Structure 1
Amino acid sequence: MGCNVNFSDIVGQNEVVNSLKNILKEHSTRHAYIFAGPEGIGKRLVAKVFAAALLCSDCNSLEACEDCQPCRLFQSGTNPDFYVLETEGTSISVDDIRKMQQDISIRPMYSEKKVYLIAEADKMTAQAQNCLLKTLEEPPEYAVIILTAVNINSLLETIRSRCILYNFRKNTDEEIRQCIKKIKGSELAGIDFIVSYADGVPGKAIRLIESEDFLLIRDKVIEIMLKLRNSNLTEIFDAYGFFEENKDNIDSILDIMLMFYRDLLIAKKAGKENILINSDKKDIILKNADRYEINKLIKNVNAIEEARRNIKQNANYQLVIEVMLMKLQEE
C-alpha cells in the first residue's frame, strides 16, 4: 500500500496536480475531495501522492520527503495515519464506513493530518453514503477524506456538495507513450496499438504491457472475426469455446473486435493507413476491407455494443455471445 511516486513522476493531469500542489503550498487543505474519472486514469495514484505529502513531517514541502518517519511508514504501507477503504465484493457497506469512522475518532499518531482514501466510492450503498455524510458534515479538523469515483452521479448530491471535485481528463497519446516508456524504459513492440487501445487511460496501457497473452488473444480474435464471414452454425458454436475460455477478458475482447471493425470502416471509407488503431495489422485490414459493406460493418459494431450492454446487465453469457456471433456471421 506504499507509494514511492511523487507529483513530478505523474504524467498528465497537470491541472489537478498543480491545484493540489497549491493547496500544499498555501496550507489550505479542505476536509474532503472527490477524484472523478475513468477507471485506470490514475485517481488512486494521485490520491496516494497527495496523501503522502500531507502526512510528511516537512510541512513546507510540496512533495513527500521520503526520509521522515511518516514517509518511511507510508512507503512500507504501515502508516496508521493513512487509511484505505476498498470494496470487498460489489459494494462498500455501512459497516465499512462505521469502521472507518471509529478510526477517524482517534487523533493522528505521527502527523498533523489523518488521510482516508475511499476507493471506488461510487460503490457505496445508500446506507453507507448516508452514514459517511455525518462525518462530512462535522469532520475532525485533522481528517482529510479522498473519494475516488468513476460515476459521481452514483454519489448523493449532499456528499458531492461537501467535497472539492477534481475531474481527471484522459491523457493524450503522447502522454500515454511517456507512461509506457517510464514502465518499460524503451520502445515497445506494438506500441502504436497499445497507445490507441488505451484511449487516454494509462491503466489500460499498463494492463496490456503486463499481459503476456494479450497480443496473442488479439491475433486469435481477429482470426475468428475474419472466419465468421463465411462460417456455418457449427463453426459459430466452435468459436464460442474461445469466448468461454476467456470469459474474464470479455471486455477487452469486445474492445478488440470494435477497434478491428472500426479500422475496416476507416480503410473502406478513407483508405488512410496512418490512422488505423491496429496499424501493425494494416495489410490484413486493407486486404479484407472490400469483403464488407459499410452498412454491415456498422451493424456488426452495434451487435458488439448490444452484447456488452447485455453482459453488464447479467444476461446469460453463452446466449449473449452466441447471438452476437450469429449476427456477425449474417450477410
Structure 2
Amino acid sequence: MIKDINSEVKLFQNDLLTRFQLIIDNKRLSHAYLFSGANGSGKETLAMWIAMRLFCTNLQSGFPCCECNECTKILLHNHPDVIFLDPNDDNIKVDQIRLLKKEANLYSVEGRKKIFIINNAELLTNSASNSLLKFIEEPAKNTYIILLTNNLNVILPTIVSRTQVVFMKLNNEVDQIKKFTEMGLSKDLSKSAVKLTQDSTCVLNEFIPNDWFNELVNLTKIWFLKLLNKDLASFNLIAQFLSLNENKTKQKIILNTLVLPFRDILFKKLNINGVCFLETNVDINKFVKTYTVSDMLNFVNIVFNAKRFINNNISLQNIIEYITVKILNDVIH
C-alpha cells in the first residue's frame, strides 16, 4: 500500500503545506531550507512532499498523486534525483558531503533537478558543516537542499543564516488521536500511535493496513509480559517480530514500540501522566511493585541504545535478540 503523504502532511503541518504549495506554484522555492522541530513534527514527511510535488508526473489538483513512478520511488527512498543523507556512526562526515557535492555538480551539468534531504543535521561534524556551507553558498543549478534537525542550537550559525529556517511545532495530541481514530484505529491504539509519532519519524499510514499495527502491539505486550516474568519463551517470539518486518520504516516502528511498555511502567512509578500502551489491557501494578525506577531506566536505555544499531546495518533479528537477552539477563539476576 502506497501511503497518502498528502493526508500525513495535512495532519502534521497543514499550514506549512499550504505555504509550500504557493511557493512552488509561484516558482519561488529557495535552494536551501532548514526544518527545525521536535521528533514527530513531520520534518521528513514535509521534505518528501516537496520532492514529490516537484517530480510527480500526475499532479492531482496541485497535490502529488502518490502513485506514479516518480512518487513511488521517492516514497521508497530510491529515486536517483532525491537523495536522503543519514548519519553514519552517529555523525555526518565530510566525505558524505563531498559525495553529495560531486553528485550535485554532475547532475547540474545535465540540467536535471536534484534534491538532497539531510536528516539529523545536528550531527554534522565541523569539517562536514564547513564543506556543506560552501555548497550552500555556491549552489549548483537546479539543486535544492533541505536540512532536518531537532536541535537548531548546534547547527553552524553561518549555515543557519544562509538557509530559510522553517520552525515546525508538534500538532495537538488530541487532534492527532482523533485523526488516527478516523483512519480506523481504536482509541487505545491511537494513543500508542501518537506516542510513536512523537518519538520517531514514523510513517502515518504504515499503522493502518491489514491490522499490522494492532498485531505489533499485541505481540509487544506478550513479549513484555514474558520478559518481566522471567520467561525464557520471550526469546521464541522474535520470529513473530521478524514476520512483521516488511521494510526499513517498519523496522523503526517495531523498535520504537518495544520502548513503550517499559516507559509506561516508569511513568506509573513516577506518577507521571502519559501512560498510553498498557493502561487498558494489562495489569501493570505487579511490575510497578516489583521493579525499581533504576530497573526501568535501565531497560529503556537498553532498547534506546540498541535502536541505533539499525544505522550500522545490523539486522532487526540481531537487534531484538540483543534487547531480549540483555533484559532477560538483568531480570533473572
- TM norm structure 1: 0.64
- CA distances 1:111-164 after superposition (whole Å, capped 9, x unpaired): 7x5433223434444333222211111224533211223444453232222212
Quick check: which has more Rg, 1 or 2? 1
- CA distances 1:307-330 after superposition (whole Å, capped 9, x unpaired): 56876899x98997478537xx9x
Match status 1:75 vs 2:54: no
| Corresponding residue number in structure 2 for 1:187 | 185
CA apart distance, 1:216 = 1.8
For the residues of structure 2 that align with 1:48 and 1:207, how far apart are their CA atoms? 16
Which of 215, 226, 242 is the equivalent residue of 2:218? 215
CA apart distance, 1:35 = 2.0
Alpha-carbon distance change, 7 to 131 in structure 1, aligned in 2, over 3 angstroms:
farther
1:179-328 alignment to 2 at 5 Å? 180=180, 185-188=183-186, 190-195=188-193, 197-198=195-196, 200=198, 203=202, 210=212, 212-225=215-228, 227=229, 252-263=257-268, 266=271, 277-281=277-281, 284-285=283-284, 288=286, 292=289, 298-304=293-299, 321=327, 325=331
- CA distances 1:175-231 after superposition (whole Å, capped 9, x unpaired): 43355457xx42348425524643645717666664534422223313543x4xxxx
1:78-89 alignment to 2 at 5 Å? 82-87=81-86, 89=88
Which residue identity lines up with residue 331 of structure 2 in the other structure?
L
For the 8 Å contact 1:86–1:119, the answer to whether it is kept is: yes
For the 8 Å contact 1:303–1:324, the answer to whether it is kept is: no
| Corresponding residue number in structure 1 for 2:161 | 161
Where 1:217 maps in the other structure, the secondary structure is helix
For the residues of structure 1 that align with 2:72 and 2:306, how far apart are their CA atoms? 39
For the 8 Å contact 2:33–2:146, the answer to whether it is kept is: yes
| Corresponding residue number in structure 2 for 1:51 | 51
Alpha-carbon distance change, 224 to 107 in structure 1, aligned in 2, over 3 angstroms:
closer
For the 8 Å contact 1:176–1:200, the answer to whether it is kept is: no
* 5+ residue gaps, structure 1: 228-234
Which residue identity lines up with residue 167 of structure 1 in the other structure?
F
For the residues of structure 1 that align with 2:13 and 2:295, how far apart are their CA atoms? 35
Count of aligned positions: 299
For the 8 Å contact 2:121–2:149, the answer to whether it is kept is: yes
For the 8 Å contact 1:307–1:324, the answer to whether it is kept is: no
For the residues of structure 2 that align with 1:324 and 1:192, how far apart are their CA atoms? 31
For the residues of structure 1 that align with 2:308 and 2:63, how far apart are their CA atoms? 43
CA apart distance, 1:259 = 0.7
For the 8 Å contact 2:94–2:128, the answer to whether it is kept is: yes
For the 8 Å contact 2:57–2:70, the answer to whether it is kept is: no
For the residues of structure 2 that align with 1:322 and 1:65, how far apart are their CA atoms? 47
- TM norm structure 2: 0.64
Q: Tell me how large the CA RMSD over aligned residues is.
A: 4.9
For the 8 Å contact 1:198–1:205, the answer to whether it is kept is: no
Alpha-carbon distance change, 164 to 81 in structure 1, aligned in 2, over 3 angstroms:
farther
Which residue identity lines up with residue 264 of structure 2 in the other structure?
M
| Corresponding residue number in structure 2 for 1:230 | none
For the 8 Å contact 1:82–1:114, the answer to whether it is kept is: yes
For the 8 Å contact 2:93–2:125, the answer to whether it is kept is: yes
| Corresponding residue number in structure 1 for 2:102 | 102
| Corresponding residue number in structure 2 for 1:132 | 132
| Corresponding residue number in structure 2 for 1:231 | none
